[in-house]
Amino acid sequence: MRDLLDRIGAIPVSLLASLRSPAGKRARLSILIYHRVLDKPDLLTEDLCDTIFFETQIRFLSAYFNVLPLPEAIQRLKEGTLPSKAACITFDDGYADNAENALPILQKLGVPATFFIATGFVNGGMMWNDKIIELVRIAPGNTLNLDAIGLGRHTIDSLEKRRQTLTFLIQELKYRTLEERHVLIEQLFQLIPATLPDNLMMTADQIRQLHRAGMEIGDHTVSHPILARTDDETVYAEIVDGKTKLEDIIQAPVRFFAYPNGKPRQDYLAKHVAMLREIGFEAAFATAWGAACCDSDLYQMPRFTPWDTDRTRFILRMVHNMFRAPDTVSEQ
């Protein structure tokens, strides 16, 4: 009964989506962003995107929207020839579960996607936030005493308390410089000795597997620095080295870039937009919400993360996102 109501409810909202995003010059391009696709939801990180969640959303997306490969969508956005309700799927960071869990679902449903990969973690690496997650997950006892490194003392006697500690540590470290963060994480590992998994991120073979399956591979820097807090020379090297490494792996051009973290002003600035244009990327992707239209800046394309698993709400939230004016930095 619930499913029937959901199917009936989807009809008017789908019509609304077609009105807001008709074919041609007035089309909107909705670009979805995912990170991990877990085997099962992770209660510690509250990351609920597992294979069931992901497949449910992609089924709705392919049933009610026109999912296009990113290069085709960008080209048709420029030409004003997008179909109605155009959508693209993207993934950031390069988690191995994208190849292991997401790829089979994408192939089963016959939809393309783009994977933005930070090359510094390929073949056994781990991003700093994932290291913190594993540390907080395995820290023994009921208290985590980080007084020695200026990060306080935390109660970790319940899942909720561990979640709070995790949020605190991620916030504390997120906007430190790469060096500061590196030192603090080394110190954390001295306080909580732990063996970390070496299969969290993609291998070069998995990147090639995605590419061979017709998926697009995009640059996401080497070590995922916050560009706005990194000197220009380092930013340039991070972008170009990431691109070159990926091109070496797939033996094909890497044409698209996604900003680490991706919030305008907070994470990237106008000079970075200009830098990407100059390097020769065809488009770049932020994490500001909204849908792109014909006058959007191709180097600051908005992206959106949906979180509903019932059909009507999923489409309704996509429609709502189409009405948001994406935040951007103005180019000089």
Q: Of the ranges 87-95, 98-106, 176-184, 199-207, which one interacts with Zn ion (CB under 5 A)?
A: 87-95
Residue pointed to by tokens 């849908």: 291
By beta-carbon proximity to Zn ion, the closer residue of 227 and 319 is: 227
Least Cβ distance, residue 18 to Zn ion (angstroms): 32
**Interaction pattern, residues 18-57, with Zn ion; x per rule: CB under 5 A:** ----------------------------------------
93 makes contact with Zn ion (CB under 5 A): yes
Nearer to Zn ion, 260 or 306 (CB): 260
- Measured in whole angstroms, the distance separating CA 153 from the mean position of its chain's CA atoms is 32
In the bound state with Zn ion, the residue whose beta carbon lies nearer, of 93 and 238, is 93
CB of 224 to Zn ion, least distance (A): 6
Q: How far is the CB of 263 from Zn ion (least distance, A)?
A: 11
> Using CB atoms within 10 A of its CB, is residue 90 exposed (0-12), middle (13-18) or buried (19+)?
buried
CB of 182 to Zn ion, least distance (A): 17
Separation of alpha carbons 145 and 191, rounded Å: 9
Owner of token pair 């449903």? 109
Return the ∠ at Cα 284 (arms to 282 and 287), rounded to 5°.
160
| Per-residue exposure over 201-239, b if at least 16 CB sit within 10 Å of its own CB, e if not | bbbeebbbebbeeebbbbbbbbbbbbbbebeeeebeebb
Per-residue interface string for the shown chain with Zn ion, residues 223-262, x marking contact by CB under 5 A:
-------------------------------------x--
Helix pair 178-191, 159-174: axis angle to 10 deg: 150
The single-letter code of the amino acid at 296 is: S
Which span sits near Zn ion by CB under 5 A: 67-75, 90-98, 132-140, 193-201? 90-98
> 3-state class of 217 per DSSP?
strand
Pick 90 or 321: Cβ nearer Zn ion = 90
Residue 161, burial from CB neighbour count under 10 angstroms (0-12, 13-18, 19+): middle
> For Zn ion, which residue has the nearest CB?
92
Q: Which of residues 260-299 bind Zn ion (CB under 5 A)?
A: 260
Q: What is the nearest approach in angstroms of Zn ion to the Cβ of residue 262?
A: 7
CB of 116 to Zn ion, least distance (A): 7
The residues pairing with 268 across neighbouring beta strands, listed in sequence order, are 264
Considering beta carbons, is residue 201 or 275 the nearer one to Zn ion? Answer: 201
Query: By the criterion CB under 5 A, which residues form the site for Zn ion?
Result: 92-93, 260
